[in-house]
Amino acid sequence: MSGETDLNVLISHMRPMLDPEPYVFCTFANRTLEQLAEYEPVGLFAETEGITAILPVERARELGLADAEWFRRITLTVHSSLEAVGLTAAIAAALAEEGIPANVVAAYFHDHVFVPAERAEDALEVLRAKSGIA
């Protein structure tokens, strides 16, 4: 498996990047992955209760769901291995110390942290400080 596994390297090289787009977490009991794909989700996950979709606010608005809480995505630009141990815990702990909720999604190349939109700049500052680039 490719990607970095050393926690110290991951943290010091994570270079958090804030996506300007706001997102909404939505759930659908009666739609398929194929149907939801047309709304350009940045994430889809099938759960027992239904499909969770992370949608850009504008696309969620088309479904009447833009009133849900808005999140912003912070991408940790280091190429983390799916076998890396501790990165999610370190990020979540740093944000928790500041009272910032974190919804972490690990994809193949990078980890993505979704935080409430109103706390996005605070979260970015916390993660930059954690990586030593404050």
Domain ranges (residues) in the chain: 7-131
User: Beta strands of 13-69 (E only): which ranges?
Assistant: 16-28, 43-47, 50-56
Give the Cα separation of 96 and 47 in Å (integer).
Answer: 26
The domain 7-131 is placed in CATH, from the list 3.40.718.10, 3.30.2130.10, 3.40.190.80, 1.10.10.60, at 3.30.2130.10
Q: What is the mean pLDDT of the chain?
A: 92
Q: What is the pLDDT of residues 75-90, one digit of tens each?
A: 999 998 888 888 999 9
pLDDT digits (tens, 9 = 90+) for 28-64: 999 999 999 999 999 999 999 999 999 999 999 999 9
- pTM of the model as a whole: 0.92
For 33, the token pair is 């992955």
